[in-house]
């Protein structure tokens, strides 16, 4: 019965949180060396199982490409570990002797980890590593269609952690997740923080749970090929990025914006690299397949290959077709090619110069990608910086595949599978989330400045309609004039100009 499944799921969640709380109470007393040994063991184990987990994810969800999910798992384990391994998360983490202030790390406690179906194993690995690095426990709520592979990833991390000395239960999960159990996890009294990666409704639920929460927004990422770009390299990077894991990374490009004077060159390069440009009739047939209702993405195309998506619309393409592209001039929820498409499908916009490109990019971001990412290919650094200043995004990646650059795979950004969108996208942070976002910082601050505190009633307060500074000046002038007049009275008659001159002389001395 459905009721029994729901009740069992809720009970599993409660049991996992109880164990996690008990484990975290022990774990928070571990030394930095002990924590680091545990985190390294987890990263090594997950990296070793990258292929196994990738295969399991594709088998269970039907989404993406095994070889690409292997790379995701490797980034989530090896690259994330390398980015946090030297970070201090226990005891004193900073000391500022000139300010006489010392900073101490403190864990949050138990974290609720929400995992999407698009990146089910890599996200679980990533969140496990950063949670335990900061001495937290974590309980996962997988997506129902990816529960087995997510639980397996979490279990690999748990077993490695326990073998290295971590308490049992430090990583937990809901084996058969339901919406009721997920909501219950986010509102559980013993959960201290929510780390949510998933659809908009789930992220909103996390923010409205009453708990501190990190959530991320959608990524309707525009990519601009500016006229000075190396077109062949730019197109190659874009195609590799958009087709990576069949477009399931939220930082993958969604619409390409091209300067008119390199348009034909760009089209030729896209075709040479496996893109199929739809004609007017084919475009009309594919639009309802992309979005059956205004602003809504069809889940049946998410993470599917270009060929499979074309077949859904009754369009025949070559077997080696990697990407479907349609020329577009409009933007809106009712324009399917302009919305976020977690699949190898592109809108193609032609513009006259970077300023028109900026307008198109802003409109695309306003449609559903504010705060996330924008990609640009150019050799003109001034234009890249102009876009960085103007665009309402947290990441501007230059001359690199956006899907990999935004998550820190090909850039200097922190390796992360939870990308904050800042206030642009309704998030609390614009960072690539990592371990330091999951710990409190306590500050020991010594007094370094002396402030005299007047006793009540020790100062006479005068009420005046004039500003205090002006009144003081007027009193000072009156006092000076009085002294001058006294001297004048003793000396006999004197003209007004002489008085003024004398007053000015005295004031200048003051």
Other beta carbons within 10 angstroms of residue 507's beta carbon come to: 13
Both tokens of 171, joined, read 């990583």
- The answer for residues whose C-beta is within 8 angstroms of residue 346's C-beta and 6 or more apart is 242, 253, 254, 255, 256, 275, 323, 324, 325, 326, 337
Q: Please report where in the chains the tokens 């201090």 appear, as a residue.
A: 88
Q: Crossing angle for the helix pair 120-133 and 32-48, nearest 10 degrees?
A: 170
Phi and psi at residue 326, to the nearest 5° = -130, 135
Both tokens of 141, joined, read 């709520």
Burial class (CB in 10 A: 0-12, 13-18, 19+), 414: buried
Distance CA 10, CA 477 (A): 81
Distance CA 349, CA 188 (A): 47
253: left (phi over 0), alpha (psi -120 to 50) or beta: beta
For 121-152, b/e burial (b = at least 16 CB within 10 A) is: bbbbbbbbbbbbbbbbbbbbbbbeebbbbbbb
DSSP 8-state assignment for residue 76: I
Q: Which residues pair with 193 in a beta bridge?
A: 111
Both tokens of 121, joined, read 């194993």
Q: Which of 157, 250, 361, 421 is catalytic?
A: 250
Length reported for the chain: 510
State CA 155 to chain mean position distance: 26
Phi and psi at residue 43, to the nearest 5° = -65, -45
Burial class (CB in 10 A: 0-12, 13-18, 19+), 175: middle
Both tokens of 77, joined, read 């384990």
Q: Which helix (H) or strand (E) holds 132?
A: helix 120-133
Active site residue 250: yes
In order, the DSSP letters of 413-477 are SPP-S-B--TGGGT-S--SB--GGGGEEEEEEE--------PPTTSS-----SS-HHHHHHHHHH
- The answer for residues whose C-beta is within 8 angstroms of residue 98's C-beta and 6 or more apart is none
Q: Please report where in the chains the tokens 């996890």 appear, as a residue.
A: 185
Distance CA 136, CA 171 (A): 9
DSSP 8-state assignment for residue 333: T
Helix, strand or coil, per DSSP, at residue 135 = coil
* Active centre residues (catalytic): 250
């Amino acid at each position: 019965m459905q009721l029994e499944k729901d009740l069992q799921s809720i009970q599993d969640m409660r049991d996992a949180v109880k164990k996690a709380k008990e484990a975290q109470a022990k774990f928070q007393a571990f030394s930095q060396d002990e924590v680091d040994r545990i985190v390294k063991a987890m990263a090594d184990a997950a990296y070793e199982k990258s292929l196994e987990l990738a295969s399991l994810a594709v088998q269970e969800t039907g989404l993406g490409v095994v070889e690409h999910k292997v790379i995701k798992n490797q980034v989530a384990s090896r690259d994330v570990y390398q980015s946090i391994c030297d970070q201090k998360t226990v005891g004193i983490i900073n000391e500022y002797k000139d300010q006489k202030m010392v900073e101490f790390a403190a864990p949050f406690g138990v974290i609720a980890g929400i995992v999407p179906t698009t990146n089910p194993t890599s996200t679980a690995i990533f969140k496990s590593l950063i949670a335990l690095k900061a001495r937290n426990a974590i309980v996962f709520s997988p997506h129902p269609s990816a529960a087995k592979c997510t639980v397996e990833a979490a279990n690999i991390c748990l077993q490695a952690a326990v073998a290295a000395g971590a308490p049992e239960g430090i990583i937990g999960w809901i084996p058969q997740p339901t919406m009721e159990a997920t909501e219950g996890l986010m509102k559980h009294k013993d959960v201290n923080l929510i780390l949510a990666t998933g659809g908009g409704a789930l992220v909103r639920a996390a923010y409205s749970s009453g708990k501190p929460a990190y959530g991320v927004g959608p990524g309707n990422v525009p990519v601009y090929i500016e006229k000075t770009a190396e077109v062949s390299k730019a197109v190659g990077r874009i195609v590799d990025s958009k087709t990576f894991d069949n477009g399931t990374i939220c930082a993958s490009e969604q619409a390409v914006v091209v300067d008119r004077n390199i348009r034909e060159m760009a089209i030729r390069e896209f075709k040479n690299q496996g893109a199929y440009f739809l004609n007017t009739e084919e475009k009309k047939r594919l639009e309802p397949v992309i979005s059956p209702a205004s602003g809504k993405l069809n889940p049946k195309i998410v993470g599917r290959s270009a060929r499979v998506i074309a077949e859904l619309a009754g369009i025949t393409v070559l077997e080696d077709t990697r990407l479907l592209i349609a020329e577009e001039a409009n933007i809106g929820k009712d324009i399917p090619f302009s919305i976020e498409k977690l699949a190898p499908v592109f809108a193609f916009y032609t513009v006259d110069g970077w300023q028109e490109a900026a307008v198109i990019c802003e409109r695309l971001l306003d449609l559903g990608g504010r705060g996330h990412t924008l990609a640009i290919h150019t050799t003109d650094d001034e234009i890249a910086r102009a876009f960085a200043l103007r665009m309402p995004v947290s990441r501007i990646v230059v001359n690199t595949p956006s899907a990999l650059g935004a998550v820190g795979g090909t850039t200097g950004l922190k390796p992360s599978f939870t990308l904050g969108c800042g206030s642009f996208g309704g998030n609390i942070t614009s960072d690539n989330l990592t371990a330091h976002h999951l710990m409190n910082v306590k500050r020991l601050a010594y007094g370094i400045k002396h402030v005299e505190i007047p006793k009540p009633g020790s100062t006479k307060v005068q009420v005046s309609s004039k500003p205090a500074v002006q009144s003081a000046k007027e009193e000072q002038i009156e006092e000076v004039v009085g002294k001058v007049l006294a001297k004048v009275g003793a000396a006999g008659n004197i003209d007004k100009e002489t008085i003024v001159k004398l007053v000015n002389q005295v004031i200048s001395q003051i």
